[in-house]
Structure 1
Amino acid sequence: MFVYHIDEELSLRSLVEQDAVALFHLIDSSRSYLREWLPWVDETSNLQDSMKFIHDSQQLYERRVGLNAGIFYRDQLVGIAGFNSFDWRNQIGYIGYWLGMSFQGKGIMTRVVRALTDYAFHQLHLNRIDIRAAYDNHKSRAIPERLGYQIEGQIRQAEWLYDHYVDHVIYSMLANEWL
């Protein structure tokens, strides 16, 4: 099980079955907000979908191909962050994240992404971190920009969101830049 304490009020932890109700409630209470930028929201329509996500996340972690962790703020599940995938051959981690609507504006995600970046370079010994965000998702883009990630470019029509395509901006951080 993955556990990473960030500070006195914030930690990352692998989700377990007992977290399914909290996860589903968090998604359901932020559904319209999350749907603007995340393509999987409509596919999470019941508690079993959250259970499946938790099970799939456990499998990813056990196989070392990804890491999805719950973000716990003052012991409450407030979002998900981690590595959507790892490219071990090239030592690259691909960070992804989302936060429930009512937890925005507290600096939570910046602290989480900073901690994931530290973990990637110090514990996993990766060489590169990629973060991709929709071009118009200014809140998501502000996080890597605030942490000094470099913009590498834009991918046109990179993702289908329900009824339209969105461009992605690619951010990166190299180990020698972070350390």
Structure 2
Amino acid sequence: MFPFQVNESIVINLIQPQERDALYTLIDENRMHLREWLLWVDKRQSPEDLDPVIEMWKQNYEDQNGFDAGLWFDGKLVGMIALHYIDWKNKVTSIGYFLAASAEGQGIITKCITRLLDVLFNEMKLNRVIIQCAETNLRSRWIPERVGFINEGISREAQWLHDHYENIVTYSMLSSDWNR
């Protein structure tokens, strides 16, 4: 599946150990931007902190249990997209993503998710894909809304984020929705 060409400018590919420093630089340069919504950012204080994480990502992919992959735009690492745990019995997964502040507003994540949904529904034969976003993270919420996901509702105070609780909005797309 990888590298996965989204279009002429965007490639999704698994993060390799030799790309650890580039990934750390991306996180570090966008630390304040990402930290607003992602708790794990504070846990990545050096490139070496990524070594066990990259190994875990590799194992998850080998076990057909999702993936965490880099997003390259015009050859530059600008973010990541992930399929969290795949529930093969129920044919369900969830998508997570982040993007460098400098790469926002170009439709990169929207294009990646749109292309990825074709694979998830038509090749992997999954039935349901979920995206969850903090209710106040409007930029992140626009993505599933733009792609046509259905807003299933809000889980009140479902995530502790640094010093407060965030409501979480759950969006879903079914294979039947996608293939209409």
What is the aligned-residue identity percentage? 40
CA–CA separation in structure 2 for the residues paired with 1:121 and 1:135: 27
TM score, norm. by length of structure 1: 0.97
Tell me how large the CA RMSD over aligned residues is: 1.0
- Secondary structure of 2:97 counterpart: strand
TM-score by length of 2: 0.96
Counterpart in the other structure of 1:103: 103
What whole-Å deviation, never above 9, does each CA across 1:103-129 have from its counterpart, x for those lacking one?
Answer: 111111111111221121122110010
Q: 2:120 is matched with which residue?
A: 120
Aligned-pair CA distance for 1:63: 1.1
Q: Which residue of structure 2 lines up, in the alignment, with residue 67 of structure 1? A: 67
- 8 Å contact from structure 1 (residues 2, 69) kept in 2: no
Query: Do the aligned partners of 1:82 and 1:116 also contact (CA within 8 Å) in 2?
Result: no
What is the deviation of 1:2? 2.8
Unpaired runs of 5+ in structure 1?
none
CA distance in 2, matches of 1:30, 1:62: 29
Q: What does residue 28 of structure 2 align with?
A: 28
> Hey, what's the Cα distance between the residues in 2 that align with 1:121 and 1:4?
16
Rounded to whole Å, the distance in 2 between the matches of 1:156 and 1:104 is 28
SS in 1 for 2:133: strand
CA distance in 2, matches of 1:58, 1:161: 27
Following TM superposition, the consecutive aligned residue runs of length 4 or more in structure 1 with deviations greater than 3 angstroms are none
Structure 2 gaps, min length 5: none
How many residues were matched structurally? 179
Rounded to whole Å, the distance in 1 between the matches of 2:136 and 2:77 is 26
